[in-house]
Amino acid sequence: MTTFNLIKLHLEHPIVKITMSRPEKRNALSPELMDEIFAAFDSVVSDEDVRVIILTGEGNTFCAGADLEYLQKLSAFGAEENLADSRKLRDLLWKIYTYPKIVIAQVHGAALGGGAGLAAVCDMVFASDDSEFGYTEVGLGFIPALVSVFLTRKIGEQHARELLLSARKFTAEEAYSLGLINSVVSCPQLEEMVKGYALTVARNSGTAVAMTKRMLATTSGMSMEAALEYAASMNALARGTEDAVKGRAKFLTKK
């Protein structure tokens, strides 16, 4: 098992909980933390008994976004270094968005900037009623470049424009009304609720979940005709999987 310094990985089949563990820095996204989150996802991807990943943060904050101490160093970076650094976040967001297992964000406290981006790329997001969200980059002279791609897909351009350009912070209730999160949960009940939900969805076919996620990522941006043709080919492919054969037999037995 990989050794981690900035995250805690708790395996309890069928669930893995990945906890960002920089509470003194409000779990800010340093390059090292991003590397460890990436490695944690990789470490369990081949474990067929793992069906759900829960991503959360230690302490009073989910993730406050970029590490400001690290950002101060960026002025000394050249163009190639800045591009490589940007691609690190790109690769992490894409890893989570396309991960072949269900990924749930368990959000409490602040989810700001890149932290809000982490939540946005998860399959489901459950947030405590004291949570606060915000895409605060333009207020600091940065741009929410990578996050904007995923946020626009998730909540539509009109709402995304307002959030990204205003850099304002907003409540979990507003995040729910915009479709950014799935549910607002009383803070003391959040962990129990997320675990119960994770155990429920973990019963689904791992193969079917992986194929569905791949289909959703691939068809976004396609023309309707191309998307339907791709979906038809995926449908045909899925019918021959071992999980589908077992699922049909189980259904027919019940009938």
Please give the positions annotated as active site.
137
User: What's the rounded Cα separation, in Å, for the pair 167 and 113?
Assistant: 9
Assess contact for 107 and 129: CB atoms under 8 A: no
